[in-house]
Amino acid sequence: MKIEESLGTLKEVFSKASPTSLPLIKAAHKYLIELAPDAVVVPRLGEKSIAYGVGVKKMSEAYCYLIPFKDYLNFGFYHGTDVDVDGILEGTGAKIRHIKIHSLDDLKNPKLKKLVLRAIKDRKAKVL
């Protein structure tokens, strides 16, 4: 894992999470690093988010992002429309989609793992 801290630190983003979403964002961060130990991690304090990718560029090199809200965590995909073959993501953007994580058990969804791995493969194929 390489952390690019020019836009903020993990600690700063974590500090913006509510007591409900803090354990969710920490668990999701660990989950993503376990799936992709070589990820480039970019905390984005201005957006209160953390991006994960094959490089630091948000829309071209990143595949996932985490944004804590009061009662849940948005687990998002920058190219969600390209990789969501199971139709589990929400959103109406041209590319970006997300899934709401309300509990730690939501991270155990096998479709989520498949989606993350597909997103990583997609970015590596298009960028590297």
Other beta carbons within 10 Å of 120: 21
Position 69, amino acid: F
Mean pLDDT (whole number) for 7-15: 95
Query: CA 9, CA 67: separation in Å to the nearest integer?
Result: 14
Q: Is it the case that residue 128 has pLDDT exceeding 80?
A: no
pLDDT of residue 115: 97
94: exposed, middle or buried (Cβ count in 10 Å: 0-12, 13-18, 19+): exposed
Q: Is it the case that residue 54 has pLDDT exceeding 90?
A: yes
pLDDT of residue 111: 96
> If you average pLDDT over every residue of the chain, what do you get?
96
pTM, 2 dp: 0.96
